[in-house]
């Protein structure tokens, strides 16, 4: 099951300091990596909110292997507090820098570079690998080794061709309704107004090969409030409550993400 999540641009509105916003994004990114999220959709709710740039930049930064970040991310204000971010340590990040250990079939992330008019890929081993493809310098690519040490050769592949989880994509959407109407798959809307999320309620989704999107509201508004009267036009959606009998007035987004994905993961594994 390919699982994606949708979160609002106002996800950070309950934090006032940029360092705290940065820490919160780190927690959200870790939760998405733990549960192998395919795509994080950040949807707008109305007027421009500068937090959306912070969200998207740090999500992408965290998903990028450490050895490629200097090439792909110049100094910018959004990364002022990057030092507090917790690493994801997903398979695409945990890669040996020792060239001797690379063998045929290994998959690595890299960046296309140009040397004397020829294209190479930098995969973090201080040895550029010849690259034959149509990508331009500066483009991030996923490559698989056709031959390992010492005569390296690679081919470009898609992320989903990797045998292990290879990270999430990050996409921005103008509004939630357009995302839901364009979505080709099942939708779960998280809300305390929904039915309790039981294994029976989730069975249809867990036993399907169709992609699933889990939608979260903002600190100020639930999904139903954000959609308003358009809610009735959303197809293939089920509203579920993953926190029945909650004692707190609200459930924070980072808590909702971890809790919801934990339940979905546990039921899908049983």
Q: What is the mean pLDDT of residues 15-20?
A: 96
What was the pLDDT predicted at 220? 87
Which residues are CB-neighbours of 60 under 8 A, at least 6 positions away? Answer: 170
Task: Provide, rounded to the nearest whole percent, the portion of the chain with pLDDT above 90.
Answer: 79
Average pLDDT over residues 21-38: 98
Could you tell me which of 181, 167, 162, 166 has the C-alpha nearest to residue 233? Answer: 181
pLDDT category of residue 204 using cuts at 50, 70 and 90:
confident
pLDDT band at 219 (very low <50, low <70, confident <90, very high): confident
Peptide bond just before 94 cis, omega within 30 deg: no
User: CB 155: neighbour CB atoms within 10 A?
Assistant: 11
How far apart CA 168 and CA 210 sit, in angstroms, is 18
Closest CA to 202 of 140, 130, 162, 261: 261
- Percent of residues, the chain, with pLDDT higher than 70: 100
- Work out the average pLDDT over 18-47: 96
State the pLDDT at residue 149: 87
Domains in the chain, please, with CATH? 3-89+167-269 (3.40.1280.10), 99-161 (2.40.50.140)
Q: Which residues contact 250 (CB under 8 A, 6 or more apart)?
A: 219
């Amino acid at each position: 099951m390919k699982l994606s999540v949708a979160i609002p641009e106002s996800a950070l509105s309950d934090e006032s300091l940029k360092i705290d916003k940065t820490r919160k994004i780190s927690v959200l990114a870790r939760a998405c990596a733990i549960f192998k999220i395919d795509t994080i959709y950040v949807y707008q709710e109305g007027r421009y909110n500068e937090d959306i740039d912070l969200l998207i930049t740090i999500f992408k930064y965290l998903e990028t292997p450490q050895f490629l970040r200097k090439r792909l991310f110049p100094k910018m204000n959004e990364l002022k507090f990057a030092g507090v971010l917790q690493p994801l340590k997903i398979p695409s990040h945990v890669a040996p820098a020792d060239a001797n250990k690379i063998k045929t079939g290994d998959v690595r992330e890299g960046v296309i570079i140009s040397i004397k008019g020829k294209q190479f890929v930098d995969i973090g081993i201080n040895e550029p690998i010849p690259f034959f493809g149509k990508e331009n310098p500066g483009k991030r690519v996923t490559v698989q080794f056709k031959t390992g040490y010492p005569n390296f050769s690679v081919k470009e592949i898609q992320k989903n061709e990797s045998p292990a989880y290879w990270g999430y994509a990050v996409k921005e959407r103008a509004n939630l309704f357009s995302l839901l109407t364009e979505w080709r798959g099942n939708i779960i809307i998280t809300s305390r107004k929904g039915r309790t999320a039981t294994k029976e309620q989730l069975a249809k989704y867990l036993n399907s090969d169709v992609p699933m999107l889990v939608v979260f509201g903002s600190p100020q508004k639930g999904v139903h409030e954000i959609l308003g009267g358009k809610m009735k036009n959303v197809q293939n959606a089920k509203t579920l409550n993953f926190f029945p009998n909650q004692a707190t007035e609200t459930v924070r987004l980072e808590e909702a993400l971890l809790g919801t994905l934990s339940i979905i993961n546990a039921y899908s594994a049983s």
